[in-house]
Amino acid sequence: MDKDKFFSNDPRFKVAKKEAWIGVGLVLFNFVWWFAFAYGLGSKSPDEYTYILGFPSWFFYSCIGSLIVMSILVIVVVKYFFKDVPFEEEVQDIQNQSDKKSS
Amino acid sequence: MQEYFLGSRSMGGFILAMTMMATYGSASSFIGGPGIAYSTGLGWVLLSMAQLPAGYFVLMVLGKKFAIVSRRYEAITLNDFLKSRYESQWVGILAAISIIIFLFSSIAAQWVGGARLLESLFNITYPIALTIFAFSVMIYVIIGGFRAVALTDTILGSIMFFGTLILLVAVIIAGGGVTNIMEKLIAIDPGLVMPFGADGNLSASYVSSYWILVGVGVVGLPQIAVRAMSHKNSKSMHHAIIISTVFVGIIMLGMHLIGVFARAINPSIAVADSVMPTITMEVLPPFLAGIVLAAPMAAIMSTVNALLIMVSSAVVKDIYLSYFNPQAPDQKVRSISYLVTAILGVIVYLMALSPPDFLIWLNLFSFGGLEAAFIWPVVLGLYWKRGNKYGAISSMIVGVTSYILFHQFYPNAFGMHTVVLPILLSLVTFVIISIVTEKKELLQAVHK
């Protein structure tokens, strides 16, 4: 049946699933960071704001900060946790490769 | 035909990132978004940062599995993928219909943005601007197809990126530095520097709900998903994730900040959609202004092209070829593609002649509709084995109709964007119907 092709024991699918979860984790972290700084530091009158490089601190951490932090995180995650797998039908090849690595 | 609609699966990382960004960063991020940021303040920039995940989340979640199975089935559109996953023609028909309806409003929004831009650039009337814009787009799309779109996207994406940086620096200089700009903004209205917006009506729950609409929900957009089929190998995919995160982030942050800063420099711009072109011509010498204004034009062009191709592929490939004339020769498919694209162009032109003031809403409406239709059939289709065609069909129907009904009768329910509830409803529907029908089928199998 067709479905089996979608959910076979193809080792590449395991890799894919893990990386999809990493994506979900990153978004959750991203959201918490963004939300906590924006509303944690921003929910008071502007007279009481502190400023960083001219920006209100809530904005600096929440928007500029999240861009920098997420960029670094994404680079680290992709470089160290994401695996190269072939997209074409060469399942044999990955097995060979991993055999070589382990030996 | 694969060539025309998909541009072959050979895109490198940089091109892939650019084409995703160019598709995603559209008139709303360059014209509509800065316009609203101008009147709302930093709160809208905060909201726009909900778009940051779009850079990494789509490629990570659809990711390798989507790439592998779409190759296995030689899927070249999202519809092909859905049809082979659920083995159902009905899924294909529903998907094609949703694409046609919702991408239409999206295309209209882009055309309005393009015409507005020409209008304020050359001081011509709106109908003339729209006509010029329509002609140039149609010629480009009809000649080029997807491959041309992808290649020019790379150039257009670079223009967007550098255009944003140049303009941001120029606006900061013109405003006398960030500190100075903030002081002026507070003098105009302290709400402009608060996360709640100038009127104080950007509540935390409303702004957060945009994480679904423009952040993670983007997974369900067919024009974005089709990009995730077209990379060459996993290396290029990895590059694309990094590049698109950084670029999308910088462009979104930069463009919306420019909108806010513009308020301090010239507080008297009346039409929201003309904020960005007006301020550009004010702070930059004419030559540089021309280059920078090419950025939104670039964004609009590339988005429109991608969308037009999506719609015409839905009509030609998913409806005409699947149900009317599967044996049509290439020559005929080609001429029908042209015809469909041309007819689409005319209809969009008529729609765009009397546009709503904030084109961003039009664009976001179509975002929400497509997400409500596709997000679960795509994501659960990839990762949840028990999901079946009944679940997919019912969740698409529930998602789209509830979205339209909520939009009409109870917009922004519970202080969140309208899209949130339909997405939840379609998830529940998908899961329940899949499980129930699975049991039924099992029972029937036993009885036999």
pLDDT in tens, B115-130: 888 887 788 888 998 8
DSSP secondary structure string, B51-71?
Answer: GHHHHHHHHHHTHHHHHHHHH
Predicted pLDDT at B369:
87
Predicted pLDDT at A1:
43
pLDDT tens digit string along B231-265?
778 888 898 899 889 988 998 899 999 999 999 99
- Which chain A residues contact residue B68 at CB under 8 A? 10, 12-13, 16, 85, 87
Percent of chain B's residues with pLDDT above 70: 88
- Which chain B residues contact residue A39 at CB under 8 A? 195, 204
B50 and A34: CB-CB below 8 Å? yes
Mutate to test the interface with B, among A67, A80, A84 (most CBs of B within 10 A): A67
Residue A11 covered by a domain: no
How many domains is chain B partitioned into structurally? Answer: 1
Instruction: Answer yes or no: is pLDDT of B43 > 80.
Output: yes
Rounded to whole angstroms, how far apart are CA atoms B377 and B366? 18
A54 and B178: CB-CB below 8 Å? yes
Rounded to whole angstroms, how far apart are CA atoms B185 and B105? 34
| pLDDT-based confidence at residue B12 (cuts at 50, 70, 90) | low
Predicted pLDDT at B362:
64
Residue B372 covered by a domain: no
Predicted pLDDT at B376:
93
Instruction: Answer yes or no: is pLDDT of B272 > 90.
Output: no
Looking at per-residue confidence, does B8 or B286 come out higher?
B286
Q: What share of chain A is helix, strand, coil (3-state, %, to 5)?
A: 75, 5, 20
pLDDT tens digit string along B168-218?
999 999 999 999 999 999 999 888 999 998 888 888 888 898 888 888 888
Residue B59 covered by a domain: yes
Predicted pLDDT at B265:
92
Predicted pLDDT at A76:
95
- Which chain B residues contact residue A78 at CB under 8 A? 238, 241-242
Predicted pLDDT at B364:
67
Shortest Cα–Cα distance, A22 to chain B (Å): 8
User: B348: domain CATH number?
Assistant: 1.20.1730.10
Tokens of A99: 């055999």
Residue A60 covered by a domain: yes
Predicted pLDDT at B321:
76
Return the sign of the alpha-carbon dihedral for residues B380, B384, B385, B391: negative
Looking at per-residue confidence, does B51 or B360 come out higher?
B51
Window 15-54 of A, Cβ < 8 Å to B: 15-17, 19-20, 22-24, 26-27, 30-31, 34-35, 38-39, 42-43, 45-46, 49, 51, 53-54
Domain hosting residue A75, numbered range: 38-83
Residue in the structure block whose two tokens are 């002081």: B183
Mutate to test the interface with B, among A58, A74, A75, A90 (most CBs of B within 10 A): A74
Window 54-93 of A, Cβ < 8 Å to B: 54-56, 58-59, 62-64, 66-67, 70-71, 74-75, 78-79, 82-89
Residue B51 covered by a domain: yes
Mutate to test the interface with A, among B165, B194, B208, B210 (most CBs of A within 10 A): B194
pLDDT tens digit string along A2-55?
556 677 778 888 888 899 999 999 999 999 999 999 999 988 888 888 999 989
pLDDT tens digit string along B260-270?
999 999 988 88
B195 and A86: CB-CB below 8 Å? no
Rounded to whole angstroms, how far apart are CA atoms B84 and A5? 10
The per-residue pLDDT of chain B, averaged, comes to 82
Whether the predicted interface score ipTM is above 0.85? no
- Which chain B residues contact residue A84 at CB under 8 A? 233-235, 238
Mutate to test the interface with A, among B68, B87, B244, B388 (most CBs of A within 10 A): B68
B60 and A22: CB-CB below 8 Å? yes
- Which chain B residues contact residue A67 at CB under 8 A? 49, 52, 249-250, 253
Shortest Cα–Cα distance, B201 to chain A (Å): 13
Instruction: Answer yes or no: is pLDDT of B106 > 50.
Output: yes
Contact of A12 with chain B, judged by CB distance below 8 Å, is answered with: yes
- Which chain A residues contact residue B85 at CB under 8 A? 2, 6
Q: Which residues face B231 on adjacent strands?
A: B11
Closest partner residue to B253 (CB to CB) among A67, A74, A89 is: A67
Rounded to whole angstroms, the maximal C-alpha distance in chain B is: 80
* Alpha carbon separation from B131 to A77, B304, B346, B418 (Å, rounded): 47, 15, 10, 33
Instruction: Answer yes or no: is pLDDT of A98 > 50.
Output: no
Instruction: Answer yes or no: is pLDDT of B412 > 90.
Output: no
The per-residue pLDDT of chain A, averaged, comes to 82
Residue B444 covered by a domain: no
- pLDDT (average), residues B2-22: 62
Looking at per-residue confidence, does B7 or B380 come out higher?
B380
Instruction: Answer yes or no: is pLDDT of B357 > 60.
Output: no
Residue A54 covered by a domain: yes
Instruction: Answer yes or no: is pLDDT of A63 > 90.
Output: yes
- Which chain B residues contact residue A49 at CB under 8 A? 193
Residue B230 covered by a domain: yes
Closest partner residue to B216 (CB to CB) among A27, A54, A66 is: A27
A16 and B64: CB-CB below 8 Å? yes
B64 and A85: CB-CB below 8 Å? yes
| pLDDT-based confidence at residue B25 (cuts at 50, 70, 90) | low
- Which chain B residues contact residue A70 at CB under 8 A? 52, 56, 245, 249
Shortest Cα–Cα distance, B177 to chain A (Å): 8
Residue A25 covered by a domain: no
E-assigned strands of B399-441? none
Task: Give the chain B residue whose CA is nearest to the CA of A15.
Answer: B64
Percent of chain A's residues with pLDDT above 70: 81
How many domains is chain A partitioned into structurally? Answer: 1
Instruction: Answer yes or no: is pLDDT of B80 > 80.
Output: yes
Residue B21 covered by a domain: yes
Residue A70 covered by a domain: yes
Looking at per-residue confidence, does B448 or B18 come out higher?
B18
| pLDDT-based confidence at residue A99 (cuts at 50, 70, 90) | very low
Residue A62 covered by a domain: yes
Looking at per-residue confidence, does B15 or A70 come out higher?
A70
- Which chain A residues contact residue B241 at CB under 8 A? 74, 78
Predicted pLDDT at A100:
45
Percent of chain A's residues with pLDDT above 90: 50
Task: Give the chain B residue whose CA is nearest to the CA of A91.
Answer: B68
Residue B445 covered by a domain: no
Tokens of B31: 């014209």
- For B419-438, b/e burial (b = at least 16 CB within 10 A) is bbbbbebbbebbbebbeebe
Domain hosting residue B287, numbered range: 2-359
- pLDDT (average), residues B15-23: 67
Instruction: Answer yes or no: is pLDDT of B42 > 90.
Output: yes
Residue B209 covered by a domain: yes
- Which chain A residues contact residue B255 at CB under 8 A? none
Closest partner residue to B72 (CB to CB) among A16, A66, A89 is: A89
Q: What is the enclosing helix (H) or strand (E) of B402? A: helix B389-409
Query: What is the pairing mode between strands A55-56 and A51-52?
Result: antiparallel
